[in-house]
Amino acid sequence: MAKYQRAADLKGAEGFYIPDSVTYITINEMVACSTLQHMVNQEWNPEKLGLDCAPVAHYNILEPIDDMVFTRHQFNGERVGIPNPFRNGQIQMCHSYAIKEKFSRDEAIRQCRYWEEQRWGYEKAIAHMLRNMTESYGYRQIAASAAEYNQGNDAGKLSGNLKLGDTVNPLVVSLPNSDNVSDFEVSALEVVSRMVLAASEAGVMCGSDQMRMAASPRFVAKLMNEQAAHVQGCCVEKNPAVSGVLLPAYGLNVLRSHFFPTKRLADGRTVEYVIMVDPNLIVAPAVLDYLEWEKLLNDIYLIGNYRFDVSVLSGRGVVVAAVTFDK
């Protein structure tokens, strides 16, 4: 039966009521949002790609023709064969996750109304888990698919001398100090600036507003702190990129996620990766084929199947920086 007991945190005052029946209160600690969905082309869903009825979707990419390749540096009327501007690829949802969980029908009957809440809770938690799994895989896949000239310490399709950092020699994001500038010890804003320049040299943007950028919460916090300091400062010439809004940088909406790939260095530091993409070149088809409750003899089964993948259609549209942080 219900009873009263002394509450220790109220210095022994009576009045803490303990009910003799279950209370239907559920505290939802899951945050149902996905930054990855802001990094991909939303138009390319499984239905439009035809992946709901076929295992593979094929696509063509039209690449630019280098004028110097076409003319061989000659402009005197000589004609040279035009290289094929098309290349093709395929998209398929290579990853699947089967869901199968067994429950007792007798126990479900005894739980009465609470069984409905338990079913709802399982469905919500599974959806959250699948989101996390897709995002964790997706960011690793995107980071690994950047073109060679959009990553590393010899980045830049035209210049070849942009320092974006790599696993061996990452950029060190420290406090901005004009008296202490080097190729590898930089501010968060400098990282963004180099990535924008690499994307421009790759020819994937006419304006940075079409790009998307994502990083770890720590890097985004550094970026916001630097922008806030610049906005509050006196010298506008030191702040050409800030328009008064903190989160957008260089015209980019900067997203944050906990699911970025990292690598632990021997000295104890962790290398994190910052990603900038053209969302038109990223596709992330995913489909929950079914999620159903089935009764079989004395048991109840929750069964389901989830298929997903994340594909980069052109590494030209992905820029990756490898960063670590000062002590």
- According to the model, what pLDDT value does residue 78 have? 66
- Consecutive H or E run containing 188: helix 188-202
Q: Are strands 270-277 and 262-264 parallel, antiparallel or unpaired?
A: antiparallel
Highest mean pLDDT among 31-40, 147-156, 239-248: 147-156
Look up residue 271 and give its DSSP letter. E
Question: How many angstroms separate the CA atoms of 275 and 10, rounded?
Answer: 50
The mean pLDDT value for 16-24 works out to: 60
Question: How many angstroms separate the CA atoms of 77 and 219, rounded?
Answer: 52
90 band by pLDDT with thresholds 50, 70 and 90:
confident
Task: Look at residues 302, 285, 277, 178 and name the one whose alpha carbon lies nearest to residue 237.
Answer: 178
- According to the model, what pLDDT value does residue 198 have? 92
Q: In percent, how much of the chain has pLDDT > 90? A: 15
Lowest mean pLDDT among 71-75, 91-95, 271-275: 71-75
- According to the model, what pLDDT value does residue 95 have? 85
Note whether 164 and 152 are within 8 A (CB).
yes
3 state DSSP class of 270:
strand
Cα atoms in the Cβ-side hemisphere of radius 13 Å centred on 235: 2
Question: How many angstroms separate the CA atoms of 283 and 141, rounded?
Answer: 11
Look up residue 65 and give its DSSP letter. P
Q: Specify the higher pLDDT residue, 177 or 97.
A: 97
- According to the model, what pLDDT value does residue 322 have? 94
pTM above 0.75, yes or no: yes
In angstroms, the first-to-last Cα distance of the chain is 57
Structure tokens at 15: 């009045």
- According to the model, what pLDDT value does residue 14 have? 53
Residue 86 pairs in a beta bridge with 62
